[in-house]
Amino acid sequence: MRTVPCSMPNHVTFRILFKRYISAHLVTEAINTFDRLEEFNLKDGTSYCNLIDALCEFKHVIEAQELCFRKNMEENNAMDARNKTKIYNMILRGWFKMEWWSKCREFWEEMDRKGVYKDLYSHSIYMDILCKSGKPWKAVKLYKEMKTKGIKLDVVAYNTVIRAVAQEILWLFDRMIESGVWPRMDTYVMLMRKFGRWGFLRPVFVVWKKMEEHACSPDEFAYKH
């Protein structure tokens, strides 16, 4: 491959190779391939990120984290601040994919202890983690912290916040009923209207089902709204 110029491998070539190996759980082979990239002058930050990303994508997060610290990523000249944040985000997303919530929290706090810069993507991943782990109110709190820090949100981040708000509303609605305060028809209508405008159909059906369970018959106003 090295003797024919037109067939020289590049970062894309090895990114595909990493994914092929790791999808087959051949982690050692993938790491050995990375170690040989000096032969192609490709053993750099980009290849390192591609390897970690592939490990995390296929849920070999423990190996990815061990590799980072065994290779002493903090002292690796190829790891500038941007790449360092990128790699930490990959590992955080990897724990998220595994739904290992305690590890997500530990790793998030570790980023603070090690002074790793948290960008928009870092915050978006962790907001999603908080939502999926049943803590939507903490996701809303994190959103407020992002606004305070002046972090500009994109559509993905806003969608996550809106989903968190929807979950928190349903949580508050359940606490309301548990406390003995029974919602009126206008309460149900208000909730369904809000969820409908946000495009969240599942919460609309959840509220409608609760309305029927509580023997609150929908009137003409409810059907129209």
- Summarize pLDDT for 27-69 with one digit per residue, the tens: 999 999 999 999 999 999 899 999 999 999 999 999 999 998 7
Q: How confident is the model at residue 5 (pLDDT cuts 50, 70, 90)?
A: low
- Integer Cα distance of 142 and 182 in angstroms: 31
- Give domain status of residue 125, yes or no: no
Q: How does DSSP classify residue 100?
A: -
Number of domains, the chain: 2
- Summarize pLDDT for 80-122 with one digit per residue, the tens: 777 889 999 999 999 999 999 999 999 999 999 999 999 999 9
pLDDT, residue 171, reads 87
pLDDT, residue 8, reads 86
Which residue range is the domain that position 33 belongs to? 1-95
- Integer Cα distance of 174 and 172 in angstroms: 5
Of 95, 122, 146, which residue sits at a domain end? 95
Of 66, 95, 124, which residue sits at a domain end? 95
Q: Is a pLDDT exceeding 90 seen at residue 13?
A: yes
Q: Is a pLDDT exceeding 60 seen at residue 72?
A: no
Q: Which long-range contacts (CB under 8 A, 24 or more apart) does 205-212 make?
A: 206/170, 207/170, 207/173, 210/173, 210/177
- Give domain status of residue 107, yes or no: no
- Summarize pLDDT for 191-225 with one digit per residue, the tens: 888 888 877 788 888 888 888 888 776 655 555 55
pLDDT, residue 32, reads 96
* Burial letters 212-223, b for 16+ CB under 10 A, else e: eeeebeeeeebe
Residue 70: give its domain's CATH number: 1.25.40
- Summarize pLDDT for 127-147 with one digit per residue, the tens: 999 999 989 889 999 999 999
Of 95, 111, 131, which residue sits at a domain end? 95
- Give domain status of residue 115, yes or no: no
- Give domain status of residue 43, yes or no: yes
pLDDT, residue 69, reads 78
- Give domain status of residue 161, yes or no: no
CA distance from start to end of the chain: 66
pTM for the complete prediction?
0.78
Q: Is a pLDDT exceeding 60 seen at residue 14?
A: yes
* Distances from the Cα of 50 to the Cα of 47, 84, 159, 162, 225, angstroms: 5, 13, 27, 32, 49
- Give domain status of residue 71, yes or no: yes
pLDDT, residue 61, reads 97
Q: How confident is the model at residue 3 (pLDDT cuts 50, 70, 90)?
A: low
Alpha helix ranges (H) inside 36-135: 45-57, 61-70, 81-97, 101-113, 120-132
Q: Which two tokens stand for residue 69?
A: 């610290």
- Give domain status of residue 134, yes or no: no
pLDDT, residue 155, reads 92
- Integer Cα distance of 216 and 198 in angstroms: 24
pLDDT, residue 203, reads 86
- Give domain status of residue 158, yes or no: no
